[in-house]
Amino acid sequence: MSTLKKALADNAKAVGGVLDELLVIGDGPESRVVEAMRYTALSGGKRIRPFMVTASAKLFNVDVDAALRVAAAVEFIHCYSLIHDDLPAMDNDDLRRGKPTCHIQFDEATAILAGDALLTKAFEVLADEATHGNSAIRVELITALAKASGDAGMVGGQMLDLYAEDHALQMPEITRLQRMKTGALIAVSCEMGAILGHASEKACHALHAYAHDVGLAFQIADDLLDVEGDEKEVGKKTGKDAAAGKATFVSLLGLERAREQAELLVDQAASHLDIFEEKANLLKDLAHFVVHRNT
Amino acid sequence: MSTLKKALADNAKAVGGVLDELLVIGDGPESRVVEAMRYTALSGGKRIRPFMVTASAKLFNVDVDAALRVAAAVEFIHCYSLIHDDLPAMDNDDLRRGKPTCHIQFDEATAILAGDALLTKAFEVLADEATHGNSAIRVELITALAKASGDAGMVGGQMLDLYAEDHALQMPEITRLQRMKTGALIAVSCEMGAILGHASEKACHALHAYAHDVGLAFQIADDLLDVEGDEKEVGKKTGKDAAAGKATFVSLLGLERAREQAELLVDQAASHLDIFEEKANLLKDLAHFVVHRNT
């Protein structure tokens, strides 16, 4: 197993442990919503965003437990967005990470509530002094995550994605859509590590540039998987964009150029981290992994 | 106009102004989600929860602008819960405050996203230093609001409400359901004023007891309106609980005893505030108003 794969697996296990601890099933019948939260949050996944939090935090020698709790908060946001995105009124997906989606396994109402509760929990975790002793750092983390995931970030990107169903977007618009929809949460994952680490402006800037390029590369890889991926391997339905007639990086650039563009972006992403020298090797490897994954 | 009615109207106007400022429509097509947020958040309503924030903050001479921003955050949570609660998969309501509900006016996907973005915005506003100069106070506000609105509070209560559709609940369970579903957000509205005001333990305790009783009285009044209210006047569908065969305070106690119970609760609520002397008159009047409203 490569160093990166081992680091990803170790991180996924550690983050999973924190998520497990944070989602406590109570006695009453309302605990069904916690079961639904756990169903999605503990269903595996590569935990790429949490890895970005912990790996960027490591650049600044941040306390591991603090980084893991912040990583869990980011994963809560990611999981809530998956649950709501899969709903019949949104993407109407039955399959996610190779398992029935939350509203199929439970029901639509429970899935809506589970998403809401995960979103709320993310901020509760960040506000907790167990995450960081300094409240100024905690509000900075909360502000960054809220901005990245709200109407000016991820949710705005999802709104654009719905708009794209009826409108033929061109490259600048698709790029903006993806920066908001997937890029913002990826970027903030790296930013959280920098906030925890009281990083210099130069370091923040480098991480931001890295995250921006990785985010786009990640999305191009996603578009490629939707065209070329095997449904069983990918763990979710493929061929959806073409079926919906949606413009993507692949439909606009073609397979060949999309692949080249993704490679170019990951090289560029890695080069932004040169200032951290060998400490950034895992994040550099991650950039390449993101493009070459098959799930 | 009574002193309370004037104070409620003034507060509603001031909070509406803050909500308006916080929900800025941008240029891109994603601004549709902000339009949906504004549609619900600026659609009027009595702004009872925001009033509880500002009125409880006034007990401790808190800066008015700070209290109004916190009140706006609470209203964002309330509005998101209305939007998601009205969805077809939840209560499936077409009418709210006398207007089409968000998913009728826009569409289901936009309504889901608008709810998500309002929920996120609540925490963004609280984390902002424009709300309060002290970050320790801001994280305390965030923690209180997250706990009250998440799976151990409002969302848990909504889960119980769904459970109640297929299970005949008795008084202790109905009371618990309502404490979580509506009581938690009402209680935290008063708590926020206390947090902003660095209130003594005794003052916090009094406000908490007040909010607890008002919350239950509020719900009994809601149940009574569902039975006796005029749909046009109430501004939303009535007779829903009976149609769904749901147990409520009214179905378990009968109209007469439910009315008596509500009166008893508001008298008790008001008495908890005696320690604040005449400064608490508006909150005492509010308790009575909550039970005697007809919308």
Q: Do residue A123 and residue B135 have CB atoms under 8 angstroms apart?
A: no
- pLDDT, tens only, A22-74: 999 998 999 999 999 999 999 988 999 999 999 999 999 999 999 999 999 99
Work out the minimum CA distance from A14 to partner chain B, whole angstroms.
24
Topology (CATH) of A3-292: Farnesyl Diphosphate Synthase (1.10.600)
- Which positions in chain A touch B110 (Cβ < 8 Å)? 159, 162
Considering only alpha carbons, which residue of chain B is nearest residue A92? Answer: B109
Least confident of A237-251, B62-76, B260-274: A237-251
pLDDT of B232 higher than 70: no
pLDDT of B99 higher than 90: yes
| The predicted structure's pLDDT at residue A33 | 98
Q: Is A150 on the interface with B (CB under 8 A)?
A: yes
Of the partner residues B28, B108, B143, the one whose CB lies closest to the CB of residue A124: B143
pTM of the model: 0.95
Q: Where are the domains of chain A?
A: 3-292
pLDDT of B45 higher than 90: no
| Mean pLDDT in residue range B217-221 | 93
Provide the 10 A C-beta neighbour count for residue A13.
10
- Which positions in chain B touch A89 (Cβ < 8 Å)? 87, 107-109, 112
Residue in this structure with the two tokens 């509406």, named with its chain if needed:
B16
| The predicted structure's pLDDT at residue B246 | 81
Q: With cut-offs at 50, 70 and 90, classify the pLDDT of residue B266.
A: very high
Work out the minimum CA distance from A258 to partner chain B, whole angstroms.
25
| The predicted structure's pLDDT at residue B228 | 83
Q: Do residue A150 and residue B110 have CB atoms under 8 angstroms apart?
A: no
Q: Which residues contact B15 (CB under 8 A, 6 or more apart)?
A: B47, B50, B54, B68, B71, B72, B75
Q: With cut-offs at 50, 70 and 90, classify the pLDDT of residue B240.
A: confident
Q: Is B89 on the interface with A (CB under 8 A)?
A: yes
Write B6-11 long-range contacts (CB < 8 A, 24+). B7/B51, B7/B55, B7/B282, B8/B46, B8/B47, B8/B48, B8/B51, B8/B286, B8/B289, B11/B47, B11/B50, B11/B51, B11/B54, B11/B55, B11/B71
Helix (H, G, I), strand (E, B) or coil at A99: strand
Q: Do residue B139 and residue A135 have CB atoms under 8 angstroms apart?
A: yes
Q: Do residue B84 and residue A112 have CB atoms under 8 angstroms apart?
A: yes
E strand or H helix that includes residue A286 = helix A281-292
Look at B156 and B247; give whichever has higher pLDDT.
Answer: B156
Work out the minimum CA distance from B194 to partner chain A, whole angstroms.
18
pLDDT below 70 — which residues of chain A? Answer: 1, 230-237, 295
pLDDT of B227 higher than 90: no
| The predicted structure's pLDDT at residue B231 | 64
The ipTM assigned to this model is 0.95
> For all residues of chain B together, what is the average pLDDT?
93
| Mean pLDDT in residue range B124-149 | 97
| Mean pLDDT in residue range B98-118 | 97
